[in-house]
Amino acid sequence: MNKIYVVGIGPGAYEKMTIEADRALQSSDMIIGYTVYVDLVKEHYPTKIFLTTPMKKEVDRCMMAFEEAKKGHVVSMICSGDTGVYGMAGLMYEIGEKYPDVELKIIPGVTAALAGAAVLGAPLIHDFCLISLSDLLTPKEKIKSRLLHASEADFVICLYNPSSKKRSGYLRWACDLMMEYKSEDTVCGIVKNIGREKESVLLLSLSQLKNTDVDMFTTVFIGNSQTKQVDGHMVTPRGYKGV
């Protein structure tokens, strides 16, 4: 049976890829992905055939993977971070219904929330949730409801897709909503280009976050009511006594 590996390559750096992901790419003869992700891994797999498609061509990219697998290639479809977190794993299964002779193997990767949390300190140590601010595939009303409910429930919130050219005011909008339940002094963090060149990190309050511009290569962390700064790190206590 023909096989496609759906591989999460982690946030960027080769060292942050899992051994299983590396082995899947080594054993493939073709690697398919969005141009930016292919460029991140290319130098480590010089003998492979690379196929790329631009952003927003996700369906085409998946079809391409199945067509190549049908021809007999061992294909890896790559995504940044984890393929099951705002990635391609689900779409691959949906499109795969038309290709019953191709088997999928999903290989997990380190998602931006976890890689970014390690840069900040320990912000996600307790209950947290991930919310994407992109309304490309999700109605804005639903995003609003999730922001409000997660804030009311005092979750640590990690925001993916916090901004893009068309959505420049969305982080400010989200901060206003979260401030309905979270204090404006809530400890927050932003991490840009995690595991890539020019990685940067900043700790700030929720009211400062509201007035900060971020780009699409940034993941944003909003603490819960217990989150604090410890020695320049963002730390959410688990509640151990005696410290």
Q: How many residues at the interface with ligand SAH, by CB under 6 A?
A: 24
Smallest gap from residue 13 Cβ to ligand SAH (A): 9
The correct pick among 218, 224, 227, 236 for binding ligand SAH (CB under 6 A) is 218
CB of 101 to ligand SAH, least distance (A): 27
Closer of 75 and 133 to ligand SAH (Cβ) = 133
Per-residue burial over 201-234, b if 16 or more Cβ lie within 10 Å, else e, is bebbebeebbebebeebbbbbbbbeebeeeeebb
Q: Least distance in Å: CB of 112 to ligand SAH?
A: 3
Q: Which residue is nearest to ligand SAH (CB)?
A: 81
Does 87 bind ligand SAH (CB under 6 A)? Our answer is yes
| Range in contact with ligand SAH (rule: CB under 6 A) among 63-71, 135-143, 211-219, 222-230 | 211-219
Which residue(s) pair with 222 in the sheet?
A: 157, 188
Residue keyed to tokens 């420049």: 168
CA distance 14 to 171: 30
CA atoms within 13 A on the CB side of 111: 15
- List the one residue out of 209, 140, 205, 133 whose CA is nearest residue 164: 133
SS3 12: coil
Q: Does 189 help bind ligand SAH (rule: CB under 6 A)?
A: no
Tell whether residue 11 is a contact of ligand SAH (CB under 6 A).
yes
Q: For residues 132 and 164, is the Cβ–Cβ distance under 8 A? A: no
CA distances from 2 to 27, 69, 104, 105, 189 (A): 13, 6, 9, 11, 44
Give the binding range for ligand SAH (CB under 6 A) out of 30-38, 42-50, 138-146, 214-222.
Answer: 214-222
Q: Whole-angstrom Cα distance, residue 215 to residue 169? A: 11
Q: Does 123 bind ligand SAH (CB under 6 A)?
A: no
- Token representation of residue 56: 């927003």
Interface residue with ligand SAH, options 33, 65, 68, 82 (CB under 6 A): 82
- Asked if 111 interacts with ligand SAH (CB under 6 A), we say yes
Q: CB 2 → ligand SAH: shortest distance, Å?
A: 25
Build a one-symbol-per-residue string for 138-167: x at contacts with ligand SAH by CB under 6 A, - elsewhere. ----------------------xxx-----
Q: How far apart are CA 50 and CA 112, in angstroms?
A: 24
Binding residues vs ligand SAH (CB under 6 A): 11-12, 79-82, 85-87, 111-112, 160-162, 191-196, 216-219
